[in-house]
Amino acid sequence: MKKLIFLLFAFSALHLAAQDMPSEPDTTRLWQVVTVDGNQYYGKILSRDGEAIRLKTETVGVITIPVRNVKTIKAVEGRLVAAGDLWADNPQSTRYFWSPNGYGLKPGEGYYQNIWIFFNQVSVGLTENASIGFGMVPLFLFAGTPSPVWITPKVSIPVVENKFNIGAGALVGTVLGDSGSGFFGIAYGTGTIGSRDKNLTLGLGYGFADGEWARRPAVSISGMLRTGKKGYLLTENYILDFGTTSGALISVGGRTVWDKVSLDYGGIIPAGDVG
């Protein structure tokens, strides 16, 4: 049971993305233009040359900014809301506290996740539909104690763009420094209804350890709701059936995001027999 709880908490934050000015105007992407006097404009580039940039904004329409007045220009991921304010994309849209959903990382996108100091994982998008993560609990720092390590391959498929996604993957781990340790992990599938900012996910996973599979799956029901420019509500819940006993883990909390860092916080309530 301890291994199962470990897997639930080890499921799996920085959004690493930088864009350069394109050689040709991109009328589909959103751009941030900062002028030398400190003003910021968000919009789509209609045209540009060596003299000026024509930018279509939501608040003041089409404006022309002389190139000599431009301090920085970069592509941004997000959407504009009232008063032209930018709500950046959710940097952790592919997971809740620990468990994944049906969305995937974009190619080259990645993040580092730390849980309770000891749980560490790095995940990166390989293609539009595939990603992989590598994790470790570095107990070897304490007198060479055996340390759990794992990988988390995942595929995600958009059935209906931004409305319904399915995903499948696994967590496969072992304990380095323990000659008697075999492999452990969980294979799972997920279905996610909703956008990256507001969604509900049903997950089903089968755990395994030392060549034996669990007879009954663990069921997860998780949700995410954006509450503002930087805030999200999160819930992640597991229904566990051990044959003679059953129980649940219920978690509720939030996420606050900044430019390159996000912080998750919340509480866990065990129900039934999960010991």
pLDDT above 60 (res 20): no
Domain regions of the chain by residue span: 2-17+90-272, 30-76
Amino acid 10: pLDDT: 41
pLDDT digit string, tens, across residues 67-78: 999 999 888 777
Where on the phi/psi map is residue 9: left (φ > 0), alpha (ψ -120 to 50), or beta? alpha
Rounded average pLDDT over 90-108: 93
Query: Do you know the residue count of the chain?
Result: 275
Other C-beta atoms closer than 10 Å to the C-beta of 106 total: 16
| % of the chain residues with pLDDT over 90 | 57
pLDDT above 80 (res 9): no
Measured torsion, CA atoms of residues 257, 262, 267, 269, in degrees rounded to the nearest 10: 110
Q: Distance (Å, rounded) from C-alpha 26 to C-alpha 60?
A: 20
Amino acid 50: pLDDT: 87
pLDDT above 80 (res 95): yes
Q: Which two tokens stand for residue 258?
A: 């900044």
pLDDT digit string, tens, across residues 156-166: 999 999 899 99
Q: Distance (Å, rounded) from C-alpha 207 to C-alpha 215?
A: 9
pLDDT digit string, tens, across residues 224-235: 999 998 999 999
pLDDT above 50 (res 23): no
pLDDT digit string, tens, across residues 257-269: 987 889 999 999 9
Q: Which CATH architecture has domain 30-76?
A: Roll (2.30)
pLDDT digit string, tens, across residues 234-261: 999 999 987 778 889 999 999 999 878 8
Among 56-60, 79-83, 233-237, the minimum mean pLDDT is found in: 79-83
C-alpha to C-alpha distances, 5 to 10, 11, 25, 238, nearest whole angstrom: 9, 10, 50, 10
Amino acid 266: pLDDT: 96
Rounded average pLDDT over 175-196: 93
Tell which wins on pLDDT, 29 or 206: 206
Q: Distance (Å, rounded) from C-alpha 203 to C-alpha 274?
A: 19
pLDDT above 70 (res 14): no
Rounded average pLDDT over 122-150: 93
Q: Which two tokens stand for residue 158?
A: 């958009």
Residue 72's contacts (CB-CB under 8 Å, 6 or more residues apart) are: 32, 33, 34
